[in-house]
Amino acid sequence: MSGRIVHGGGIGAAAALYGGHPGDWLDLSTGLNPCPPALPAIPDRIWHRLPEQDLLSETRHAARTFYGSGDILPLAVPGTQSVIQLLPRLADRGRRAAILSPTYGEYGRVLTSSGLAVDAVATLDDVDPRSGQVVVVNPNNPTGRLQAPGNLLSLADRLAGQGGFLVVDEAFGDCTPETSLAGAVATRPNLIVFRSFGKFFGLAGLRLGFVIAADDILERFADWLGPWAVSGPALSVATDLLSAEPQPLRRIISERRAGLGRVLADAGLNVEGGTSLFALVADPCAAELHAHLCRAHILTRKFDYAPTWLRFGLAPDAASDERLAAALATWSAR
Amino acid sequence: MSGRIVHGGGIGAAAALYGGHPGDWLDLSTGLNPCPPALPAIPDRIWHRLPEQDLLSETRHAARTFYGSGDILPLAVPGTQSVIQLLPRLADRGRRAAILSPTYGEYGRVLTSSGLAVDAVATLDDVDPRSGQVVVVNPNNPTGRLQAPGNLLSLADRLAGQGGFLVVDEAFGDCTPETSLAGAVATRPNLIVFRSFGKFFGLAGLRLGFVIAADDILERFADWLGPWAVSGPALSVATDLLSAEPQPLRRIISERRAGLGRVLADAGLNVEGGTSLFALVADPCAAELHAHLCRAHILTRKFDYAPTWLRFGLAPDAASDERLAAALATWSAR
């Protein structure tokens, strides 16, 4: 596999390098809710049988209400990554793609390795309206930069005039539903919204995401993925959790985010951006800080392409905030 | 989605048509072990975190021992269907594919709809050795026809001379490991073996399968599927169950299969074939028999392309065998 990207979550590798039992590490390298809700009961038949249409349909209806996609029934997919992999097949081979950059690296890796010509653009205004496919992660990972919905819709309309698609990845948008374009897809056949289930709900192991797009696009994705693409347990758990009131989860995420923000501010670090699920620190010594925290068995996320950045995910509780604060205190005092 | 195939497992649809609560139906429409082992405990972190490399590696090592693939570490995939979907990408576009037929319909649907020219061949001798890709389900679904390993290896060697692949789907091979080619892949770079986890273990909801093939082929599949393609719970459960002794499962499947065989024989039905996980009945009135059993809320599997066939999966216990026997008694007495 060419150009494989090192993502967060590599606690095993970090522990092999810096010592300690992986279970004792504090993993701040991902952008996951560290306080997932209790796992709903999963009926035996969900494990034993193939996931049937009625189960799938229940999940899609729950997702429609949760994401506010109106007439569109979101398509359940085995993680957003599974449809990122398919974007090259949606692309018009003769046209360039554009990615609002820097952002989540898998878009660039997948589109480029498929042979497409890809422009990394810094602003929406820099997008060539003749692009066949434009990707915007909103809010962005890892910068947290947020594009106003109106500006994205204008871009979608400009692209539509020339037959191009706009893909908006809202993986980190569950705490800010007012920024979502999910409700706008029904009237814009060239707009595709990706939603991630595992981040907000802290259940990344399930492998579940949703695509909100016009029926013909959803049918193409469904056709490429084939039947039974999503596991029964993922559908069952998601139906339950998407049907529950999201405010308690938003509240605890907000509390955890505030705790992280305080620790980073107290340490005098420069928080340059972030979302509800992570903070991005800019520091000329980011690589050394990463290593310093590893020695305290705390894993953060560094970026090959931006050596001054360090991304901090949320810690699960106040005690873990203090553990991070203690490790940062010895850094500040070095 | 064009040419969608109606598979077994549609209890919801059958109950809507024939009445009864879906949970009260006896589902004999699939080829799944109806007596799955107890679900192993799944640690919380498996649900919460992305499936990491070390988890994946443990599953692959357990699969290597279970399937006997020697130097090859099987690739975990989210169900065999996920790699059937990718077969067209492995194919040389300019060459024909061949499928030993009739067989599991998804091969024909996927290869044909990708635009490949596909020959449905009746015997291995009918395969054009210039084929780019040949698919054999062994033992076959739904006929149960078994190809001798030596004949398949000869075919693989004939194809290798002209750069063609042989795909052998051993989804129903877990009770007859002596027929498997898993151990032959290490010395045959054009041989690809698919294994299904959910059938033998009765855990189809998990969505898990394995590909046994040369490293360069596994890397291509892994690249197309992308990172984190298989859910954490699937990997965790599989690692535990693949590491356990398979004989108790084989024994109970064998008992259940014997029970089904007795019921069908007592009813005077003509069992034309089958595997350890299902029996294939040939009857000029198969469609009427299917409807008759539906009225008793028992679902079997009929085949559009073979209207005289009816496939019976295993019932979970002797009481269910008797329920089937009672329904068949009123059929014989009609």
Q: Tens digit of pLDDT for each residue in B263-301?
A: 999 999 999 999 999 999 999 999 999 999 999 999 999
Q: How far is A243 from chain B (nearest CA, A)?
A: 19
**pLDDT score at B2:** 40
For the residues A184-190, what does the mean pLDDT come to? 97
Please indicate whether, in this complex, the C-beta atoms of B46 and A206 are within 8 angstroms of each other.
no
E strands present in A182-286: 191-196, 209-212, 270-275, 278-282
CB A101 within 8 A of CB A136: no
Task: Look at B30 and A49 and tell me if their CB atoms are within 8 Å.
Answer: yes
- SS3 of chain A: helix, strand, coil, percent, to 5: 45, 15, 40
Q: Residue B78 and residue A78: Cβ atoms within 8 Å? A: yes
Phi/psi for A43 (5° steps) reads -60, 150
| A229/B84 CB distance under 8 A | no
Question: Between β-strands B209-212 and A118-121, what pairing exists: parallel, antiparallel or unpaired?
Answer: unpaired
Backbone angles phi and psi of A94, in degrees to 5? -85, 0
* Mean pLDDT for all residues in chain B: 95
For residue B325, the model assigns a pLDDT of: 98
Q: Which of B49, B206, B227 sits opposite A47 (nearest CB)?
A: B206
pLDDT digit string, tens, across residues B105-143: 999 999 999 999 999 999 999 999 999 999 999 999 999
Distance from CA of A328 to the nearest CA of B (A): 25
Which two three-digit tokens encode residue B20?
């009864």
pLDDT tier, A2 (very low <50, low <70, confident <90, very high otherwise)? very low
pLDDT in tens, A249-275: 999 999 999 999 999 999 999 999 999
Contact across the interface for B207 and A51, Cβ inside 8 Å: yes
- Which residues, in sequence order, are CB contacts of A245 under 8 Å at separation 6+? none
| Cα–Cα distance for residue pair A76/B7, rounded to 1 Å | 20
Q: In which band, very low, low, confident or very high, does the pLDDT at B3 lie, cut at 50, 70 and 90?
A: low
- Which of A52, A204, A224 minimises the CB distance to B85? A224
Residue A179 phi, psi dihedral angles, 5° rounding: -95, 0
Closest Cα in chain A, distance from residue B151 (Å): 31
Residue B139 has what pLDDT?
A: 98
B225 part of contact set with chain A, CB < 8 Å: yes
Residues in B closer than 8 angstroms to A27, CB to CB, are 49
B306 vs B321: CA distance, rounded Å: 25
Q: Which two tokens stand for residue B272?
A: 């034309």
Half-sphere exposure for B88 (CA within 13 Å, toward CB): 17
ipTM over 0.90: yes
Q: Do B234 and A231 touch (CB under 8 A)?
A: yes
- Contact B132/B96 with Cβ under 8 angstroms? yes
pLDDT level of residue B92 (50, 70, 90 thresholds): confident
| pLDDT at residue number B1 | 35
Ramachandran angles phi, psi of B75, nearest 5°: -90, 125
Mutate to test the interface with A, among B24, B54, B207, B237 (most CBs of A within 10 A): B207
Chain B CB contacts of A231 under 8 Å are: 78, 205-207, 231, 233-234
pLDDT of A18-74, one tens digit each?
999 988 999 999 999 999 999 999 999 999 999 988 899 999 999 999 999 999 999
Contacts of B57 (CB under 8 A, 6+ apart): none
CA distance from start to end of chain B: 40
Which DSSP category does B165 fall into? Answer: E
Tokens representing B131 are 């084929």
Integer CA distances (angstroms), A301 to A259, A320, A331, B127, B295, in order = 18, 17, 17, 53, 59
Nearest CA in chain B to A201: B48
Q: Which of residues 51-110 of B touch A (CB under 8 A)?
A: 51-54, 78-79, 81-82, 84-85, 106, 110
Q: How far apart are CA B257 and CA B34, in angstroms?
A: 10
Neighbours of A272 (CB within 10 A): 16
Distance CA A47, CA A284 (A): 49
**How far off is chain A from B134, nearest CA to CA, in Å?**
20
What's phi and psi for B57, nearest 5 deg?
Answer: -65, -40
- What is the CATH superfamily name and number for domain B11-36+247-332? Aspartate Aminotransferase, domain 1 (3.90.1150.10)
Does B49 contact A36 at a Cβ distance shorter than 8 Å? no
CA–CA dist A255, A266 (Å, integer): 17
Question: How far B273 CA sits from the closest chain A CA (Å)?
Answer: 24
Distance CA B179, CA B138 (A): 8
Q: Could you tell me if B171 and B141 are in contact, meaning their C-beta atoms sit under 8 angstroms apart? A: yes
Q: State which residue of chain B sits closest to A227, comparing Cα positions.
A: B81
What sign has the CA pseudo-torsion A221, A227, A229, A231? positive
Helix (H, G, I), strand (E, B) or coil at B266: helix
CB contact under 8 A, B203 and A48: yes
| A39/B49 Cβ within 8 A | no
pTM of the prediction? Answer: 0.95
Nearest Cβ partner of A231 from B207, B222, B223?
A: B207
The strand pair at A97-100 and A301-302 is best described as: unpaired
| Residue B206 Cα, gap to closest chain A Cα (Å) | 5
The structural domains of chain B, with segments of one domain joined by +, span: 11-36+247-332, 44-242
B207·A228 Cβ contact <8 A: yes
Contact B53 A10 (CB under 8 A): yes
**Segment B165-196, tens digit of pLDDT:** 999 999 999 999 999 999 999 999 999 999 99
A226–B110: do the CB atoms touch at under 8 Å? yes
The reported pLDDT for the residue numbered A1 is 35
Q: Chain B, 2-41: which have a CB under 8 Å from a chain A CB? A: 2, 4, 7, 9-13, 23, 27, 30, 32, 36, 39
What is the CATH code for B44-242?
3.40.640.10
pLDDT of residue A52: 86
